[in-house]
Amino acid sequence: MTVREATFDLLRGLGMTTVFGNPGSTELPFLAGLPRDFSYVLGLHEGAVVGMADGYAQGTGRPALVNLHTAPGLGNASAAIMTAYLNRTPLVIVAGQQDRRHLASEPFLAGRLTEMVRPYVKWSDQPVRAEDVPAAIARAYHTAAQPPAGPAFVAVPQDDWGATAPPPRPHRVLNRACPDERELERAARLLEAGRSPAIVAGAGVDRSGAWEDTVRLAERLRAAVWADPFASRAGFPQDHALFRGHLSPAQATLAEELSGHDVVLVLGAPVFKYYRYLPGPVVAEGTELVHVTDDPEEAARAPVGVSLVGDVALAVRRLLESVRISERPAPEPLPAPPAPRVAEPLPVDYVLYTVGRMLPEEAVVVEETPSSKPLLHRYIRVRRPGGFYSAASGGLGFGVSASVGLSMAEPERPVVCIVGDGSLAYGLQALWSAGRYGRRVVFVVLNNRQYRVLRLLAGRDGLEGEVPGTGLEGFDPEGAARSLGCPAETVEAPEELEEALGRALAAGSPRLLNVLVDPESPREMWG
């Protein structure tokens, strides 16, 4: 058979029959006459393509296939690839390369593709022989899926697809490994003996399927549960009586927040992810810290405690089997935040409060609103596994694109993407894909006509003078969405908000709400 035929057989066996891409000339030999059992999801920009695949892979829990156009397409996708790497998203990225027979002369559209994607892929390869292409893609699949998951890359010269290759052989890789059992037993005794234990639940809890067991472990220990500062997924139900909120992204304040706990168990999160430089201890003196992660590098750079490397879900299950039910008093539940004031123009906190009140329990929330993130966490509580996604990189453009991919992965769940107007501008092309494929996504744009987060940061740090390039006056999210085939409307008044949200949530197809919020809201910067 040909390399192309062998590759399609391989992809069928791996369950990768959905291709996310934007086609180019070097990909034509692979794409022309795509088999009928494969589907092609078109994105109008490579960043949107990778973002959609990122959401789809996280939603399904399996590697997704991305097809990009040689060096220009790979360059356009680079920020989204970095985000997928930091999100721990398994992607198999295949890019076309110029014809192998004249690569030595560096023809038009040739590129140093394997170098371009480093260091934000787990493995990068251009096979030496055409017949090695299927094996390289199989290796990319298994490498991408192996914890810590992430993108893997294969460059394929365009003439390779017609060469001959042997049929692929079935091969499975089983990746789950439990951390050291003796250390887990020691951790169980520490948690039992602690005066006031705490759990920090990160994205790795949700990725590994440990959500319900983590709830049972916290209840058995009567432990307070925190979310790590920049969790890209929620690891614990945020309406639970034991949930204490999100830790601060600064060293001194985070240590102060954990200072009341003598034992801290960090699950599926780094120790710790900071933003503002505010030096202090990592944890208070005398606090014992146990860290469970599937990432050896994350374990190696943890500054304190003991780090156990292995599958987070298996570790939680083993701890749950080992610890006895505690008789210590449970922490007092946090009071519900008061309803924010209603005003015109709309305050951001009131908009997020209204969204949180109207969200179906099964909804998936995607966040990309940097200045309003703490308010979102205050008023929108994630109640189910796979209920929250954000970009671990902090780069813009993920939210809109990933929402489309998540809706494809879990079509029965409504997806609500809460995005700033500045963030929306980075992912506009994905609105076209949302419309074309009829995805059940509501895009709530917090439109303050500026990059609010930059102005807040400048004020917090005492910087004087106006910051250039932070005004977004004249950008029309409603008009942009309509031009890309996504129905949209603008909301200005409080009485319009609830009705517009109700219509959008009931539509069963994409809708964008351009919510004009108070440009001075929020007034304070987090961290």
The pLDDT tens digits for 70-79 are 999 999 999 9
The one-letter amino acid at 387: G
Query: What average pLDDT score do residues 288-294 get?
Result: 97
The mean per-residue pLDDT over the stretch 43-54 comes to 98
Helix or strand holding residue 480 (H, E): helix 477-483
pLDDT reading at 288 higher than 90: yes
Across 233-259, average pLDDT: 96
Model confidence band, residue 527 (pLDDT cutoffs 50, 70, 90): low
pLDDT band at 463 (very low <50, low <70, confident <90, very high): confident
Residue 192 is predicted with a pLDDT of: 95
pLDDT tens profile 390-447: 999 998 999 999 999 999 999 999 999 999 999 999 999 999 999 999 999 999 999 9
What's the pLDDT score for residue 466?
A: 86
Average confidence score pLDDT of the chain: 95
- pLDDT at 525 > cutoff 80: no
Q: What is the pLDDT of residues 382-404, one digit of tens each?
A: 999 999 999 999 989 999 999 99
Residue 398's pLDDT is: 97
The percent of residues in the chain predicted with pLDDT above 90, rounded, is 92
Tell me the pLDDT band of 464, cut-offs 50, 70 and 90: confident
Would you state the pLDDT for residue 526? 63
Give the pLDDT of residue 459.
Answer: 85
Mean pLDDT across 87-92: 98
- pLDDT tens digit sequence for 473-506: 999 999 999 999 999 999 999 999 999 999 999 9
Strand order in 243-246's β-sheet?
Answer: 243-246, 224-227, 197-201, 263-267, 288-293, 306-309
Does pLDDT of 366 surpass 80? Answer: yes
Neighbour-count burial for 57-86, b at 16+ CB within 10 Å, e otherwise:
bbbbebbbbbbbbbbebbbbbbbbbbbbbb
- What pLDDT sits at residue 522? 85
Amino acid 460: pLDDT: 84
pLDDT of residue 521: 83
Per-residue confidence band for 315, with pLDDT thresholds at 50, 70 and 90: very high
Q: Are 36 and 59 in contact (CB under 8 A)?
A: no
* Three-class HEC string of 88-144: CCCEEEEEEECCHHHHHHCCCCCCCHHHHCCCCCCCEECCCCHHHHHHHHHHHHHHH
